[in-house]
Chain A
Amino acid sequence: MMAPSSEHLLVSHEAYRWFVTIVTGGASSYWLFIDSFRLRKALRADRSKGVVRDQIFGSIVGLTIGAIGVLGAVLSLS
C-alpha cells in the first residue's frame, strides 16, 4: 500500500483542505435550504397520497444529511 503522496499536488495540502471544507459546508447549506423549501411544499400537499408522504420523509432525510455536512465541516476546523 502506498501512502498519500506530497508529489503531484495540484495545490498545497492546506489549501486543498480548505477547498474541501468550503465545498462540503457550501453544498450542505444549499441542501438545508432546498430541502426546507421542499418540505414546506410537501406539507401543504395531500398527505393521504403515498408519494407525498415519501416526499416528506425524503426531505427530512435531506435536511438531516445537510446538517451532518455542516457539522462535519465545522468539526474539521476544530
Chain B
Amino acid sequence: MASNLNPANAITATRFLTLPPFVWAIHHGYYQLAAVAIIVCGLLDLVDGAVARLFNCITPFGAVFDALADGFCYGFFMLVLVGYGWVPWPPVALIILMGVANTWLRAIYARRAGKTVNYRSFAMERCVAFAAYLGGFGASGYMVDYFYWTFVAMMALSLVHDAKRMAIDPVEADDDERDAGAPVAVVA
C-alpha cells in the first residue's frame, strides 16, 4: 500500500492555505478575490484525486483526509461569511449540524464494519459538490437564500437516507464495491 506521505495528500493539505487569503479578502470586502480563493480550493480538490490515480497512491487515509478537508474548508468558508453577515446564519447552522451528524454516522458505520472505511454515499457526493459552490454564492451575494435553503433540503434528504444505511441496515458484502474505482476526490 502507498505511503500516506504522498503527492495527493500533500495537495489536499495545500487546500488549507486558501483559508487565510479568503478571510483577508472578506475582511476587506474584496468579494471577487474571496471567490478566487474558493475556486482555487475547489480546483485543488479535483487535482488531488487525479494525482492519486496518476501516481497510484490511493490510500484509505487519503480518502478520509480528503473528506475531512472538504468539510473543514467549505464549512470554514460559510462560517466566515456568516461571521461577516454576508449570508444568513440559520441555514449555515443547519448545514454544520448535519455535517457533524454525517461524520458521527460514518464513525458508527466504520465500527459496525469493523475496519477503517469511509462509507461512500453517492447522494452526499453530490451534496459536497454543491457545497463547493455555496461559499462562492455567499461571497458574491448571488441568489444566497435560494441556494442555501435548497442545499439544506437536499442535504437533509441525503442524510436521512444515509442514516438508515449506515446505522440500521445490515453491512452488506457488496458495500466493498462502493469504493471500487471510486475517484478519491469525490469520496464524501
Binding site for B on A (CB under 8 A): 1-5, 7-11, 16-17, 20-21, 24, 27, 31, 35, 49-51, 54-55, 57-59, 61-62, 64-65, 68-69, 72, 75-76
Count of chain B residues near A, Cβ 8 A: 40
Residues on A with C-beta less than 8 A from B174 are: 49-51
**Structural contact, A57 and B161, CB atoms closer than 8 A:** yes
Q: How far is the CA of A10 from the CA of B25 in the complex (A)?
A: 13
Interface string of B128-157 (1 = CB under 8 A from A): 011001001100111100110010001001
Residues on A with C-beta less than 8 A from B177 are: 49, 51
Please provide the chain B residues from 139 to 188 with a CB less than 8 Å away from any CB of chain A in the complex.
140-143, 146-147, 150, 154, 157-158, 161, 165, 169, 172, 174-175, 177-178
Chain A interface mostly: helix
Q: How far is the CB of A22 from chain B (nearest CB, A)?
A: 12
Residues on B with C-beta less than 8 A from A72 are: 143, 146-147, 150
Please provide the chain B residues from 67 to 89 with a CB less than 8 Å away from any CB of chain A in the complex.
84-86
**Structural contact, B142 and A61, CB atoms closer than 8 A:** no
A54 and B123 in contact, given A2-B27, A16-B32 (Cβ under 8 angstroms): yes
**Structural contact, B169 and A50, CB atoms closer than 8 A:** yes
Chain B interface mostly: helix
Binding site for A on B (CB under 8 A): 27-33, 36, 84-86, 121-123, 125-127, 129-130, 133, 136-137, 140-143, 146-147, 150, 154, 157-158, 161, 165, 169, 172, 174-175, 177-178
Q: How many A-B residue pairs have CB under 8 A?
A: 96
Among candidates A3, A11, A20, A55, residue contacting B122 with C-beta atoms closer than 8 Å: A55
**Structural contact, B30 and A58, CB atoms closer than 8 A:** no
Residues on A with C-beta less than 8 A from B157 are: 61
**Structural contact, A10 and B125, CB atoms closer than 8 A:** no
Residues on A with C-beta less than 8 A from B147 are: 68, 72
A51 and B175 in contact, given A1-B85, A2-B84, A61-B158 (Cβ under 8 angstroms): yes
Residue from the set A8, A49, A51, A64 with the largest chain B CB neighbour count within 10 Å? A51
Q: How far is the CA of A10 from the CA of B158 in the complex (A)?
A: 37
Residue from the set B29, B33, B85, B158 with the largest chain A CB neighbour count within 10 Å? B29
In the complex, what residue of chain B is closest to A27 when comparing beta carbons? B133
Among candidates B85, B126, B142, B169, residue contacting A62 with C-beta atoms closer than 8 Å: B126
Q: How far is the CB of A8 from chain B (nearest CB, A)?
A: 5
**Structural contact, A20 and B130, CB atoms closer than 8 A:** no
